[in-house]
């Protein structure tokens, strides 16, 4: 068992609350604190999870001797807050994406600042990209490690999330995030500025990164949400990109917010020897000899026995402790805690996070230029 660490969770709103029990009860966490600007919410969540140590601001918690912070705040705050925390000597887990702003060039600049801060401070950063730890990605990484795909030919990734999805209405999400600061100018956004759910998992399997992109956008007639007069100035509710990867494979990526679909966060991978498909009939491993169904509950990697025991005890016998986004939350928490406890770089460090995030910025630039082929900036492999 690794040493035990101290950890603070910054932001305990609806999403952040889903991680409190996982962090609190991980066997390598000896001390946990909560932080939120909303004092009433902070007190309520602290009481619910029986956590005594609380802080009213990021500045306050950064002044403590807590080793690591999980930042689960609003997306436009992620990179500035992560940088401030690392400069204060904290390792950082951040919710996705690295940052969310209307201007792609500003986001590229924040990626550069984040990576430089990691290098300068020696602190570890991890982006909590859920697709990395969906069962499908874990299964495909094992197949790839066994060379079962042969050479990768094509990957197809998609994130279908209609604006008016009844399960998670994006209008309501935007208004809740901004509260009293919301007005109609804040509508829209850029679909490809949030590509990590459709891109991260498949890149983690191929261990490759995007080098160039050509993309097109679709503007729905008379769209009331994606409009030129909104803050982002974006009319594309759907964006489709074709990437060339460093391994010479191609990736077709769909980020759709105007789509008559129940919602989907998935990928498929096609190789010269074997392929993985994920469709309405479930997941299949496909070769020249046919297709074999792969049940999702058999795809997950095992977690350490002591971690499972701790989480199962706190969740209750027979209850699911894995959390949301395909059960990825538990794996994200374990990866960050284990990395800090053992002094190693997390799997989705700042360099990897940029490779999951930046291609979408360039895809939108390409869509604005009617599909012009553009190079994708890259900061290298990062720490070994």
74-86 confidence digits (pLDDT tens): 999 999 999 999 9
pTM: 0.96
Q: Residues 273, 147: one domain?
A: yes
pLDDT at 345 over 60: yes
Are residues 99 and 20 part of one domain?
yes
Residue 1's pLDDT is what? 55
Same domain, 92 and 140: no
Question: Range with the lowest mean pLDDT among 39-43, 119-123, 177-181, 286-290?
Answer: 177-181
Domain count, the chain: 2
Residue listed under structure tokens 């046919």? 290
Q: Has residue 148 got a pLDDT over 70? A: yes
Inside any domain, residue 20? yes
Classify residue 383: in a domain, yes or no: no
Dump pLDDT digits (tens) for 194-250: 999 999 999 999 999 999 999 999 999 999 999 999 999 999 999 999 999 999 999
Using DSSP bridges, classify how beta strands 125-127 and 91-94 pair: parallel, antiparallel or unpaired.
parallel
Q: Answer whether residue 334 shows pLDDT above 80.
A: yes
Q: Is the dihedral of CA 22, 193, 61, 90 positive or negative?
A: positive
Going by their DSSP bridges, the two strands 275-279 and 91-94 should be labelled as: unpaired
**Average pLDDT, whole number, for the chain?**
96
Residue 384 forms part of a structural domain: no
Do both 227 and 199 map to the same domain? Answer: yes
Please answer whether residues 197 and 265 qualify as being in contact, where contact means their C-beta atoms are separated by less than 8 angstroms.
yes
Give me the residue label for tokens 């460093």.
246
- Same-domain pairing of 203 and 284: yes
* Alpha carbons 326 and 125: distance in angstroms, whole number: 23
181 φ, ψ (degrees, to nearest 5): -85, 0
Q: Tell me, yes or no, whether 69 and 185 share the same domain.
A: no
Percent helix / strand / coil, the chain, rounded to 5: 40, 20, 40
Question: What's the whole-number mean pLDDT along residues 41-50?
Answer: 98
Domain for residue 286, yes or no? yes
- A 10 A CB-CB count for 310 gives 19
Give yes or no: residues 54 and 69 share one domain. Answer: yes
pLDDT at 317 over 90: no
Both tokens of residue 272? 């010269």
Rg of the chain on CA atoms, in Å: 20
Residue 138 shares a structural domain with residue 285: yes
Two tokens, residue 13: 């709103």
- Distance set, CA 269 to CA 144, 155, 275 (Å): 10, 4, 6
- Provide the pLDDT for residue 2: 74
Reported as type and span, the H/E element at residue 308 is: helix 305-315
Q: Is residue 334 part of a domain?
A: yes
pLDDT exceeds 90 at position 255: yes
**Per-residue pLDDT reduced to its tens digit, 165-186:** 999 999 999 999 999 999 999 9
Note whether 140 and 215 are same-domain residues. Answer: yes
Percentage of residues in the chain having pLDDT higher than 70: 100
Enclosing domain of residue 116: 5-129+303-342
Query: What single-letter DSSP state applies at residue 131?
Result: G
Instruction: Give the whole-angstrom CA distance, residue 140 versus residue 278.
Output: 12
Q: 161 and 273: one domain?
A: yes
pLDDT at 171: 95
Q: Is residue 381 part of a domain?
A: no
- Same-domain pairing of 370 and 276: yes
Please name the residues in contact with 226: beta carbons below 8 A apart, sequence gap of 6 or more. Answer: 187, 188, 189, 219, 220, 234, 235, 236, 237, 257, 258
Looking at the fold, whether 81 and 136 belong to one and the same domain comes out as no
CATH of the domain at 318: 3.40.50.720
Asked if residue 207 belongs to a domain, the reply is yes
CATH number, residue 244: 3.30.360.10
Is residue 315 one of the residues assigned to a domain?
yes
Asked if the model's pLDDT at residue 73 lies above 70, the reply is: yes
The encoded tokens of residue 66 equal: 């807590």
């Amino acid at each position: 068992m690794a040493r035990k660490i101290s950890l603070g969770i910054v932001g305990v709103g609806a999403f952040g609350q889903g991680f409190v029990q996982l962090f609190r009860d991980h066997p390598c966490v000896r001390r946990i604190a909560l932080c939120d600007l909303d004092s009433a919410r902070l007190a309520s969540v602290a009481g619910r999870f029986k956590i005594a140590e609380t802080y009213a601001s990021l500045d306050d918690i950064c002044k403590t001797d807590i080793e690591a912070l999980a930042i689960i705040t609003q997306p436009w705050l992620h990179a500035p807050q992560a940088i401030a925390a690392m400069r204060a000597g904290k390792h950082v887990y951040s919710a996705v994406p690295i940052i969310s702003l209307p201007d792609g060039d500003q986001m590229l600049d924040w990626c550069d600042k984040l990576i430089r801060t990691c290098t300068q401070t020696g602190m570890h950063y991890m982006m909590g990209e859920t697709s990395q730890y969906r069962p499908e990605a874990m299964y495909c990484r094992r197949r790839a490690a066994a060379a079962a795909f042969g050479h990768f030919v094509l990957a197809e990734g998609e994130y279908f999330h209609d604006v008016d999805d009844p399960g998670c209405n994006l209008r309501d999400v935007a208004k809740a995030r901004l509260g009293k600061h919301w007005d109609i100018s804040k509508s829209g956004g850029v679909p490809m500025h949030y590509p990590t759910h459709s891109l991260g998992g498949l890149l983690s399997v191929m261990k490759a990164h995007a080098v160039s992109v050509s993309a097109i956008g679709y503007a729905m007639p008379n769209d009331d949400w994606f409009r030129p007069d909104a803050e982002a100035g974006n009319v594309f509710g759907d964006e489709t990109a074709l990437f060339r990867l460093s391994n010479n494979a191609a990736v077709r990526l769909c980020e759709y917010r105007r789509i008559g679909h129940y919602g989907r966060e998935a990928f498929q991978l096609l190789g010269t020897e074997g392929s993985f498909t994920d469709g309405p009939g479930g997941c299949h491993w496909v070769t020249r000899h046919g297709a074999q169904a792969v049940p999702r509950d058999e795809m997950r990697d095992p977690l350490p026995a002591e971690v499972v025991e701790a989480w199962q005890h706190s969740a209750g016998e027979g209850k699911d402790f894995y959390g949301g986004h395909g059960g990825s939350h538990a794996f994200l928490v374990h990866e960050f805690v284990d990395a800090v406890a053992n002094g190693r770089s997390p799997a989705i460090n700042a360099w990897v996070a940029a490779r999951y995030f930046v291609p979408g910025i360039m895809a939108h630039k390409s869509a604005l230029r009617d599909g012009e082929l553009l190079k994708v900036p890259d900061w290298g492999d990062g720490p070994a």
